[in-house]
Amino acid sequence: MLRKPTFAALAILALAACDDDETAPDLRADIDYSVLGNQTPYSEQFVDEAGATTVDLADGNNRHKMFQALNYYSSSNITANTAISAEQLKKLFSNTGNPFVDISTSTISVTGSSLNSSGVQLKNVTASSLGSGADAVRTKLESDFDDIATASLSVTQVAEKGKAGKLATYLVDDRGIETIQIIQKSLIGALQLDYISNVLLSEGLKADNHSVVSGKNYSALEHNWDEAYGLLTLNPVYLYNTTTSVASTDAARATVEFGAGSYIWEYNKANYAKFYPAFLKGRAAIVNNDKAEIEAQATFIRTQMELAIARAALGYLDKWKAGGAQVKDQAHAIGEGLGFIYSLRFAKIHGGDAAWSDGIINGLVGSEFGFWDLDVTKINAASDAIKAKFSIQ
């Protein structure tokens, strides 16, 4: 059984107005921005007078791992040609019934009992910037869980027009849609983009910063910023391998990243290396009560996350065209592309919304046979709409 929501969650969902008392004393000594280390672990750079870290990444990291575990549950069943349970996916989404188990692979390390008892979940923060409108997004995702479970009943069959099954290793439904990609990429937007960008680094910036949360070593504002970092990545330095002292380059990513953290590197080559410095400078600005700098760094992170997801959508539409006669490659590309297009409804800085996003999706696969009815004209129309919205050449 889940514990009651944490103070931080309550502070985000029902924030009081920011303390405007400019005479209130600063909580900590100022940090010189020039001393921030772009290869130094995040938690080591923000400490109290006694040298103890003021960073707690647990809530963000736990939700990140829950996202990984939910995706792994479906992907491992597809690989094993076994049925997927929609009820299990819904339990993983809401963290009910102790759904998480230990997972240890080269890319995922999860201790099930730790997540089960963490007191956090994915569902209640998914699309949370929408208020009451969040229910429609959560219901849609749970409907996707039903769809992938139904498709998995045909996991040993070969897919064809009007028939679910596999195209090579990819499980698609009777309309040729690879639902696991719809789920994963939709959550990149509805969970990571929305909660980081539209909640924690937006309304969350109004949280108190003049006192520590009871029993903790951080202010509510500090924790909101830290939770955003923890949901983006599990690494102590985003995109820098602290074990091997190797930095990511355009050609090679030096760390294991999942979800938005991976696609920022892949689809925002101009700015991925600026993300970690932006998180550091923004966090230091919180210590310094430098509101202009906090807003500047938050806006950079939010804007560039949105652009990465928009370019990912465009990239997968292009991959559909590059797939040629390889139907499996086209189906895989459009599954990822559709999920990213769904996520663009959460790109609020660029004016994304549900009507615009749904219009593009319906234009692509709104016909009876979905993927099987796609053509270059539909793909180009979708690409043009995204480029226009995000001013991408």
pLDDT at 20 over 90: no
179 CB-near residues (< 8 Å, 6+ apart): 144, 147, 148, 151, 171, 172, 173, 335
Is the pLDDT at 8 greater than 90? The verdict is no
Distance CA 380, CA 374 (A): 11
Check residue 37 and give its pLDDT: 98
* Amino acid 85: pLDDT: 98
Contact call for residues 210 and 27 (beta carbons, < 8 A) = yes
**Distance, CA of 8 to CA of 327 (rounded, Å):** 47
Structural domain boundaries in the chain: 30-57+158-178+187-393
Q: Which two tokens stand for residue 173?
A: 């439904």
Tokens 């769809």 — which residue?
147
Q: Maximum CA pair distance of the chain?
A: 69
Share of the chain above pLDDT 70, in %: 94
State residue 323's pLDDT score: 87
33-71 residue pLDDT tens: 999 999 999 999 999 999 999 999 999 999 999 999 999
Structural tokens at position 339: 């999920």
Q: How far apart are CA 71 and CA 92, in angstroms?
A: 10
Q: Mean pLDDT throughout 2-24?
A: 45
pLDDT for position 260 = 98
Given this model, what pLDDT does residue 16 score?
Answer: 40
**What average pLDDT score do residues 74-85 get?**
98
Residue for token digits 């979940």? 121
State the amino acid at position 269 in one-letter form: K
- 6 pLDDT more than 60: no
Convert the pLDDT of each residue in 159-215 to its tens digit.
999 999 999 999 999 999 999 999 999 999 999 999 999 999 999 999 999 999 999
- pLDDT surpasses 80 at 4: no
Per-residue pLDDT band for 24 (boundaries 50, 70, 90) equals low
pTM of the model: 0.94
Average pLDDT of the residues of the chain:
94
Instruction: List, for residues 251-263, the tens digit of each pLDDT value.
Output: 999 999 999 999 9
Q: Is the pLDDT confidence value at 339 over 50?
A: yes
Structure tokens belonging to residue 210 = 């003049």
Per-residue pLDDT reduced to its tens digit, 84-141: 999 999 999 999 999 999 999 999 999 999 999 999 999 999 999 999 999 999 999 9
Question: Side chain identity at 350, as an amino acid letter?
Answer: H
